[in-house]
Amino acid sequence: MNLLTINNVSKRFGQLPVLDELSLEVDEGSVFGFIGKNGSGKTTTMRIIVGLLKADLGEVYIKGKKVDFGQTATNHMIGYLPDVPEFYGFMNALEYLRFCGKIKGMNPADIKLKTSELLAVVGLEESAKRRIKGYSRGMKQRLGIAQALMHNPALLICDEPTSALDPQGRSEILNILSQVRERTTVLFSTHILADVERICDTVGMLEGGKIVFGGKLDEIKGRQRKDRLVVQLEDLGVGALETLLLELRALPYVQRCFRAGAEFTIDVDSVSEDGQQLLRELVARELTVLGFCVQEPSLENLYLDVIK
């Protein structure tokens, strides 16, 4: 079932069109990776979903209920972690979560229960009584996720939760997001394809105000061509590599061939038969083959295929 439906939403800032009849659906129980480069409109979309920004055209629905601009009633179903979360630095995490619980109208018993439960989920139990102003960026993001989950939302929206973090911090946030999928649907934005690949089951890529490609990640990967070889040769110099590129392109079983340095990406009809023939060809030319493999399906490769 659709938890979130975005229906032909358009938004412009002055003369600048940002969203152009954007339509998007997020299924209940999924982890949706909302991909797009800087300025593509991810934050704008999320702010429209939580009623902080008014769409020029189109509608957004949460569980079939329409989102209104302003204090929208649909927000009781949403937990939101903005791109630049702000905290009261003088508070500690415990105080902050209790404060958020009160604002959200929760009763004291629930606040107590959720606070201790969520501090454990985001790994902040030991730092719960330290002032937030001394927290690292990663710790602040983890507290931001806990805050967003206080009222048991059906949908957790996180705007680039990993972008400013080092690999360890990123990994911690991704682990938390994949863990909380048990309790809530997750929509998170990023420009890091590897993060999406790690935890999402569904993706949507925003470009030019629309979703340019998207769907279930395993179906997308299943559609990807599996007849692409990647061959790494020793560096023969640009001249020799360019000559080789032309020779490889002329082989009857080579569909397409690209070169990046001494790495060749080669599309063939059949990796098993043509691959062997190609390898024999390279060895016959007395070339040193440093790597020879079938390219694994990946979101990044698919994206490159789509935008080529």
Ligand X SMILES: Nc1ncnc2c1ncn2[C@@H]1O[C@H](COP(=O)(O)OP(=O)(O)OP(=O)(O)O)[C@@H](O)[C@H]1O
Catalog residues that contact ligand X under the rule CB under 6 A.
Answer: 13, 16, 18, 36, 38-44, 83, 160, 191
Alpha-carbon distances of 135 from 38, 80, 127, rounded to whole Å: 26, 20, 9
Report, in Å, the least distance between residue 39 CB and ligand X.
4
* CB-CB contact of 123 with 142 (8 Å): yes
Report, in Å, the least distance between residue 194 CB and Mg ion.
18
Instruction: Please identify, using beta-carbon distances, which residue of 119 and 157 lies nearer to Mg ion.
Output: 157
Only one of the segments 34-42, 244-252, 253-261, 292-300 lies at the binding site for Mg ion (rule: CB under 5 A); that segment is: 34-42
Of ligand X, Mg ion, none, which one does residue 63 interact with (CB within 5 to 8 Å by kind)? none
Q: Rounded to whole angstroms, how far apart are CA atoms 29 and 2?
A: 9
Instruction: Please identify, using beta-carbon distances, which residue of 157 and 231 lies nearer to Mg ion.
Output: 157
Q: What is the DSSP string of 232-282?
A: EE----HHHHHHHHHHHHTSTTEEEEEEETTEEEEEES-HHHHHHHHHHHH
Helix (H, G, I), strand (E, B) or coil at 56: coil
Of Mg ion, ligand X, none, which one does residue 246 interact with (CB within 5 to 8 Å by kind)? none
**Residue type for position 93:** A
Instruction: Please identify, using beta-carbon distances, which residue of 138 and 209 lies nearer to ligand X.
Output: 209
Q: Is residue 190 at the binding interface for Mg ion, with CB under 5 A as the rule?
A: no
Of Mg ion, ligand X, none, which one does residue 36 interact with (CB within 5 to 8 Å by kind)? ligand X
**Residue type for position 164:** A
Of Mg ion, ligand X, none, which one does residue 40 interact with (CB within 5 to 8 Å by kind)? ligand X
Sole binder of Mg ion in the list 43, 75, 92, 115 (CB under 5 A):
43
Window 233 to 292, contacts with Mg ion (CB under 5 A): none
* CB-CB contact of 265 with 295 (8 Å): yes
Q: Rounded to whole angstroms, how far apart are CA atoms 63 and 141?
A: 27
Q: State both tokens at 74.
A: 């649909």
Only one of the segments 50-58, 82-90, 228-236, 279-287 lies at the binding site for Mg ion (rule: CB under 5 A); that segment is: 82-90
Q: What is the DSSP string of 128-159?
A: TTSBGGG--HHHHHHHHHHHHHTT--SEEEEE
Of ligand X, Mg ion, none, which one does residue 44 interact with (CB within 5 to 8 Å by kind)? ligand X
Instruction: Please identify, using beta-carbon distances, which residue of 44 and 75 lies nearer to ligand X.
Output: 44
Q: State both tokens at 249.
A: 């392109």
Of Mg ion, ligand X, none, which one does residue 38 interact with (CB within 5 to 8 Å by kind)? ligand X
